[in-house]
Amino acid sequence: SSVTLTCSSDANPAANYTWYKENGNPDLQRLSEGQQLVFSSVQSSDSGQYSCTAENKLGRMTSNNFSVNVMYGPKRPSVSVSASAEIENQTLPHGQQDIYHFTSISSEDRGNYYCKSENQHGHINSTSLFIDVQYGPKRPSVSVSPSAEIVEGSSVNLTCSSDANPAANYTWYKENEDSPKASGQIFTITDVRPEHSGDYSCEAQNRRGRQSSTLHLTVVAGTL
């Protein structure tokens, strides 16, 4: 809005006026000369203590300080996270009321967050902040396709999937064998033999942990 400050003093001859603003004690910022100080579009930075001096050739007097308090709606809020960019499962500390706490963060807390700031003069939303909650793999689910009887000589896919962030890497093992059989979500056996029967385990792993699940594969001998 527009604001005008007016200074007047009884003087003869007529006084000359000078305006000052406190700029950190004891400094005063000289603003302008004239009986009126006009703010055509007042800003929040114009808040402060103002004074004027009236002066003629016979003397000089300074007014008491006059306080200008410019009210304004919220500026755009900033949001930040108190942990590092990679958030593990942990309990965060309590603090001020304008801080939102995750008392026990979980994978469901992953997402975009923003805050809304408001007073009687307006409201505004902050920019959004993405919270990337990292966690180790959940127990994988394993399946066989086709799910019917697996006939000798046919092809079969073993599939493994797990909820994890970052995404899991998958490794397949067969019972009583130390070396991995394959890596990747899908383990394909193209020419199934009876010796392929047995228990297969899939291990899902990322830098936050590992989990495994097992399935049993039964191969039926082909008919002549």
**Each residue's pLDDT tens digit, 146-159:** 876 788 888 999 99
Which pLDDT score, from 0 to 100, does residue 136 have?
Answer: 92
What's the fold here for domain 135-220?
Answer: Immunoglobulin-like (2.60.40)
Among residues 108, 110, 111, 168, which one has the least CA distance to residue 139? 168
CATH of span 3-68:
2.60.40.10
- Report whether pLDDT(203) > 90: yes
Among residues 10, 9, 45, 46, which one has the least CA distance to residue 18? 9
Asked if 8 contacts 35 with a C-beta cutoff of 8 angstroms, the reply is yes
Among residues 213, 214, 215, 216, which one has the least CA distance to residue 139? 213
Supply the pTM of this predicted model: 0.55
Among residues 122, 133, 131, 128, which one has the least CA distance to residue 79? 128
Amino acid letter, residue 93: P
Whether the domain at 3-68 and the domain at 135-220 fall into the same CATH topology: yes
CA angle 126, 130, 136 (to 5 degrees): 155
Among 2-6, 122-126, 166-170, 204-208, the minimum mean pLDDT is found in: 122-126
Task: Give the domain ranges of the chain.
Answer: 3-68, 73-83+99-133, 135-220
Q: How far apart are CA 209 and CA 190, in angstroms?
A: 31
